[in-house]
A and B are shown apart, each in its own frame.
Chain A
Amino acid sequence: DTAVSQTPKYLVTQMGNDKSIKCEQNLGHDTMYWYKQDSKKFLKIMFSYNNKELIINETVPNRFSPKSPDKAHLNLHINSLELGDSAVYFCASSQDEYQPQHFGDGTRLSIL
């Protein structure tokens, strides 16, 4: 069974659209994360979230918002997509922020 799963694997859409990426973990972890990996393969954290606290990287535009319906899910909503949003987005989870993280396989977002 996949520990951290993201859908879709690929997402191609036009500038200005609103889209969502789903993430689910079946590890019973309390903390989930969203990362963005740009074309130069540099990985940057966007959000970390547990049922108590959302920590937002201050450089993330407010067009991006995480939504957690329950502890096992952390979905990423993106409004008014821009060309610069093209990247691979990774979801991850860990028992807490001090434990090893488990990553999904990524969602490749391409903006036309």
Chain B
Amino acid sequence: KQEVTQIPAALSVPEGENLVLNCSFTDSAIYNLQWFRQDPGKGLTSLLLIQSSQREQTSGRLNASLDKSSGRSTLYIAASQPGDSATYLCAVLDRDNQFYFGTGTSLTVIP
């Protein structure tokens, strides 16, 4: 059974810093991996989706990498802003067509 873990559970950084969020999964047989952000009281917003054949995806200040063989993905956020404060979740689509979510990293960017 797939297990998805995110470290750290919470992170607080000053504005302007670059930061990395980590996601690990136990079964490398996945179709894709997504990174989401969740704002309080809201649903999830998809940030980046990496197919299993890809190694990274970029969108603006965000860069997500995927190392399927080691079961790891990172989300890199450049020049962090207070508006980046949210909970970030990763999710994998397993080969049994089930989605498994990580427990999330709560990010606070301090002005």
Contact = CB atoms under 8 A, between A and B. Distances in A.
B44 A101 contact: yes
Interface residues of A, number: 23
A99 interface: yes
Contacts, number: 53
Q: Which 3 A-B pairs have the closest CB atoms?
A: A103-B43, A100-B46, A43-B101
Interface residues of B, number: 23
Given A45-B101, A106-B42, A106-B43, 19 more contacts: A43-B89, A43-B91, A44-B101, A48-B97, A55-B97, A55-B98, A57-B98, A92-B43, A97-B93, A98-B31, A99-B49, A100-B34, A102-B46, A103-B36, A103-B43, A103-B45, A105-B41, A105-B42, A106-B41
Contacts of A42: 101, 103
Interface in B73-97: 87, 89, 91, 93, 97
Nearest to B97: A55
The main secondary structure of chain B at its interface with chain A is strand
A36 to B, nearest CB: 11
Interface of B: 31-32, 34, 36, 41-46, 49, 51, 87, 89, 91, 93, 97-101, 103-104
Contacts of A103: 36, 43-46
Given A90-B44, A92-B44, A98 B104 contact: no
Interface in A46-96: 48, 55, 57, 90, 92
A105 B49 contact: no
